[in-house]
């Protein structure tokens, strides 16, 4: 396993985890609905889910590892930590005032 495999695997892991946290971990409770954070959460979950599917699908179906940017992997790690700290709440993770 070389450096390309490690970055692709890390990026797929972070992408899948971000999608899962936003889609399944957040519980609304007594919070109030806001359109923009809701739209952002949907967009982030969708895009990160597609990124995960793109990497994993290419490895599983074609047997080739995609070349991914280590800098994007770092950004994905930071976004993952923000979403994890906010327990899936995008408005709290990016500090929206509503």
Torsion from C-alpha of 74, 96, 46, 55, nearest 10 degrees: 0
Beta strands in the chain (DSSP E): none
CA distance 74 to 38: 25
- Single pTM value for the model: 0.90
CB 41 within 8 A of CB 90: yes
Q: Give the model's confidence band at 29: pLDDT under 50 very low, under 70 low, under 90 confident, else very high.
A: confident
Summarised one tens digit per residue, pLDDT across range 32-88 is: 888 998 999 999 999 999 999 999 999 999 999 999 999 999 999 999 999 999 988
What is the predicted pLDDT for the residue at 70?
Answer: 95
């Amino acid at each position: 396993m070389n450096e390309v495999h490690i970055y692709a695997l890390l990026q797929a892991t972070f992408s899948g985890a971000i999608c899962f946290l936003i889609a399944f971990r957040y519980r609304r409770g007594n919070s109030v609905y806001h359109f923009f954070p809701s739209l952002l959460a949907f967009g982030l979950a969708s895009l990160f889910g597609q990124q995960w599917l793109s990497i994993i699908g290419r490895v599983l179906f074609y047997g080739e590892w995609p070349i991914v940017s280590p800098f994007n992997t770092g950004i994905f790690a930071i976004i993952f930590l923000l979403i994890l700290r906010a327990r899936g709440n995008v408005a709290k993770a990016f500090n929206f005032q509503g």
